[in-house]
Amino acid sequence: MKPAAFTYARPADWPEALALLGGGARAQAGGQSLGPMMNLRLAQPGAVADLRHLPGFAGVTVTGATCRIGAGTTHAAIEDGAVPGLLGRILAGVARRIAYRAVRNRGTIGGSFSHADPAADWVAVLPVFMGEAIAFGPAGERRIPLDGFLRGLFETALAPDELLRAIELPLLPAGTRWGHWKFCRKPGEFSKATACVLAVPGAPVRAVLAALDTPPLVIADAGALLLAAPEAEAARIVAGLGPLEPWRAALARTALQRAGLAAREDA
């Protein structure tokens, strides 16, 4: 199918982008979610604001111990090493398992995160870090903790007149351990259960369980998942999610166990 007729706009700066948003335009970054929805006419915006040419929308900068990733940075750029150090190794491993390279060449970290599809990779991973989403609105920049950014299915903490400008993550020290697991029936498919575990020296172990048709579950103290037998802890966490189909609950428990095992064995 072809999309319904719409007006294309290419804002030159952030205030112009906000003005277009206030006028009813739909923001577009890589277009890997909005484009198919428009082709199927599930979304029929009257105008689309292409954010790709905004200053600072893409790119990675490091200031002190903080890494700032522009919301328009593509999955492919992250896969290819745009983010430095141990944090970059972790994010590159996540990025290279997103869909296919053609999608990664255009899809963006900020577009995926703000779209808030519960099965998306960045939705399942970013909340584990003690970082912040940088929103831009009429009053300027506003900081939102990553573990509070996602409010529901396709729902975020962004106000209607705000855009996601960047994501800031702390650089990770030596000795950090990482585990990540997602269930896909074939490459490129959306996950049916995803878990990640982050163990930073001197800090509580954090974990996220996601892709269960609910907002991601952030586990602020997940040290028990690094034990030799984490099955009981995984079962306790999944039981607290409420009723799940047996196959989905089994995938969720297994994802947590395998992410914990991967983190425990990470050198």
> How many other C-beta atoms can be found within 10 angstroms of the C-beta atom of residue 145?
12
Q: Is residue 68 part of a domain?
A: yes
Question: Are residue 139 and residue 190 in the same domain, yes or no?
Answer: no
Question: Are residue 142 and residue 65 in the same domain, yes or no?
Answer: yes
Taking 80 as the threshold, does the pLDDT of residue 107 lie above it? yes
Per-residue pLDDT at 238:
95
User: Which one of 143, 170, 197 terminates a domain?
Assistant: 170
* pLDDT single digits (tens) 66-103: 999 999 999 999 999 999 999 999 999 999 999 999 99
pLDDT: which is higher, 126 or 39: 126
How far does Cα 6 stand from its chain's mean position?
A: 28
Q: Is residue 151 part of a domain?
A: yes
Question: Are residue 162 and residue 197 in the same domain, yes or no?
Answer: no
Give the integer Cα–Cα distance in Å for 47 and 31: 14
Phi, psi of 62 (to 5 degrees): -120, 125
Question: Are residue 156 and residue 191 in the same domain, yes or no?
Answer: no
Q: Is residue 196 part of a domain?
A: yes
Q: Is residue 204 part of a domain?
A: yes
Question: Are residue 182 and residue 162 in the same domain, yes or no?
Answer: no
Q: Do residues 134 and 168 make contact, with C-beta atoms less than 8 angstroms apart?
A: yes
Q: Is residue 51 part of a domain?
A: no
Residues in a beta bridge with 49: 9, 27
* pLDDT single digits (tens) 2-56: 899 999 999 999 999 999 999 999 999 999 899 889 899 989 999 999 999 999 9
Where in the sequence is the domain holding 35, given as residue range(s)?
A: 7-43
Give the integer Cα–Cα distance in Å for 189 and 187: 6
Taking 80 as the threshold, does the pLDDT of residue 125 lie above it? yes
Q: What is the mean pLDDT of residues 139-143?
A: 97
Q: What is the mean pLDDT of residues 207-232?
A: 93
Q: Is residue 55 part of a domain?
A: no
Q: Do residues 263 and 230 make contact, with C-beta atoms less than 8 angstroms apart?
A: no
Q: Is residue 53 part of a domain?
A: no
Question: Are residue 71 and residue 90 in the same domain, yes or no?
Answer: yes
Q: Is residue 49 part of a domain?
A: no
Question: Are residue 153 and residue 199 in the same domain, yes or no?
Answer: no
Number of domains composing the chain:
3
Query: Residue 6 gets which letter from DSSP?
Result: -
Rounded to the nearest 10°, the torsion over CA 30, 211, 260, 243 is 170
Taking 70 as the threshold, does the pLDDT of residue 267 lie above it? no
Residues in a beta bridge with 63: 66
Question: Are residue 143 and residue 192 in the same domain, yes or no?
Answer: no
Question: Are residue 64 and residue 166 in the same domain, yes or no?
Answer: yes
User: Which one of 114, 144, 170 terminates a domain?
Assistant: 170
Question: Are residue 151 and residue 199 in the same domain, yes or no?
Answer: no
Taking 80 as the threshold, does the pLDDT of residue 203 lie above it? yes
* pLDDT single digits (tens) 155-195: 999 999 999 999 999 999 999 999 999 999 888 888 999 99
108: CATH: 3.30.465.10
Give the integer Cα–Cα distance in Å for 147 and 199: 16
201: CATH: 3.30.390.50
**pLDDT bracket for residue 124 (50, 70, 90):** very high
User: Which one of 124, 147, 170 terminates a domain?
Assistant: 170
